[in-house]
Amino acid sequence: MTRSSAIAAMIVAALAVPATSDVKSAETPTLTFALPTLVPAVLPCVAAEKGFFEENGLRVTLKVHRYGPDAMGELLSGGAQVFAGPETSSVRAAVQGHDVVTIATVARTVQARLIARMDAPHSISEPKDLVGKRVATALGSDADFFLHAFLATHGVPASRVSISSMPVSEMPEALAKGRIDAYAAWEPFVLYGANLLHRHFRIFLPHKIYRGWTAVSVLRDFADKNPETLRRLLAALIKAEEFARRNPEQALKIAARRFELRPEVVKAVLIDDTLAVELDQELVETMRAQSDWAAGVVTPSGNAREARARVDERALMSERPASVKLK
């Protein structure tokens, strides 16, 4: 064999066997999964802890943020490819013109609540007593949406309530010290407020007014270009759902470690929630209603009322079609 023939043979052999790193990256997509410290986001925590992402050919890093808007910001800035958090965060992003789609939900929640002091001079025992009172919330959050829906349901104009924005972690102490009369938040922060007050308070539950979701969302361009990756992602979350159903106590402990909460707190918070990977028409209707609310919270850009177009069921239809119940 001539020298030139030998070199040619070496080049052909090199091209026939791709570099190991290229093969590995092609077979194992790497994702950053952004989520807030949100108790209902149990299934991503379980999937990470039990190795279900790896079993489905994914390398996933969970990046936990303090609040939903921070986690959504990670997605929008390109620092993460997947977000899991309140559906209100996805709606707000859509109203601002970001092309965010929800590919599944991993929990149905009743986390948003309103806690109010009943003792004088606060004297709140009924919704009508909120007129003229100081009520804190995290503006733009699911608790904010619930607060406005709660007031509207009970015929209390929001303009007659002194609503202010406050970091949710500061609300329990502010209520205990009398700086506010009530606050709308999510768990475990309502529970923390109740523990500080001990008595003379009332918690208003959402009941039929508002039931939220923990939504798994991505940018539409990513969904279009990575259908198989998202199918694998949902397969791992479905396996986490099955694990949590068989081992509820262990799943709660996994979430408690990830979010640095006591297991008994996580258990109390999740008592009325349902952990399931699904897409339901009720989600679309709620997102449609939230689009009008969000337009008053952030600067609108684009037609976010097209809520159905903001739900992308392709990956879930591919993995578990029975969990898709959309019109």
Do 142 and 297 form a contact (C-beta atoms < 8 A)? no
Is residue 152 within 8 A of residue 127, CB to CB? The reply is no
For residue 300, give the 3-state DSSP assignment. coil
Three-state SS for 17?
coil
Could you tell me the two tokens for 109?
């929640």
Residues 261 and 283 in one domain: yes
CA atoms of 290 and 298, how far apart (whole Å): 12
pLDDT reading at 292 higher than 90: no
Which one of 204, 235, 260 terminates a domain?
A: 204
Domain limit, last residue, from 204, 224, 239: 204
Domain identity same for 103 and 216: yes
What is the C-alpha to C-alpha distance for residues 147 and 113, in angstroms, rounded to an integer? Answer: 8
Q: Is residue 88 part of a domain?
A: yes
Q: Domain end: 204, 233, 261, which one?
A: 204
Strand partners, 30: 59
Tally the domains of the chain. Answer: 2
d(CA 126, CA 202): 9
Question: How far is it, in rounded angstroms, from Cα 181 to Cα 174?
Answer: 9
10 pLDDT more than 90: no
Q: Is the pLDDT of residue 105 over 90?
A: yes
Is 124 domain-assigned?
yes
126 lies in some domain: yes
Residue 7 is assigned to a structural domain of this protein: no
Give the predicted TM-score (pTM) of the model. Answer: 0.84
237 and 179 share one domain:
no
Q: What is the CATH number of the domain that holds 131?
A: 3.40.190.10
Share the mean pLDDT of the chain.
88
Q: Give 116's strand partners.
A: 182, 202
Domain carrying residue 117: 113-204
Residue 46 shares a structural domain with residue 77: yes
Where b means 16+ CB within 10 Å and e means fewer, 112-137 reads: bbbbbbeeeebebeebebbeebbbbb
Asked if residue 286 belongs to a domain, the reply is yes
Asked if residue 310 and residue 283 are part of one domain, the reply reads yes
Q: Quick one: pLDDT band at residue 323, thresholds 50, 70, 90?
A: very high
Same domain, 52 and 103: yes
Q: Based on the fold, state whether residues 48 and 142 are members of the same structural domain.
A: no
| In a shared domain, residues 223 and 313 | yes
Average pLDDT over residues 176-182: 97
Query: Which residues, listed in sequence order, are joined to residue 109 by a DSSP beta bridge?
Result: 212
In order of 48, 60, 140, 154, 324, the CA distances from 278 in angstroms are 19, 21, 25, 31, 6
Does residue 298 surpass a pLDDT of 70? no
Rounded mean pLDDT, 175-189 = 95
Is residue 20 domain-resident?
A: no
- pLDDT at residue 230 is higher than 80: yes
Domain shared by 75 and 220, yes or no: yes
Q: Do the domain assignments include residue 12?
A: no
The pLDDT value recorded for residue 87 is 93
The C-alpha atoms of residue 264 and residue 304 are separated, in whole angstroms, by 39
Cα 288 to Cα 95: distance, rounded to the nearest angstrom? 11
As given in the structure block, the two tokens for residue 181 are: 């009369």
36 and 48, same structural domain?
Answer: yes
101 within 8 A of 82, measured Cβ to Cβ: no
- What does the H/E/C string look like for 177-189? CCCCCEEEECCCH
Residue 4 lies in a domain: no
Q: Stretch 1-13: mean pLDDT, rounded?
A: 41
Which residues share a beta bridge with 202? Answer: 116
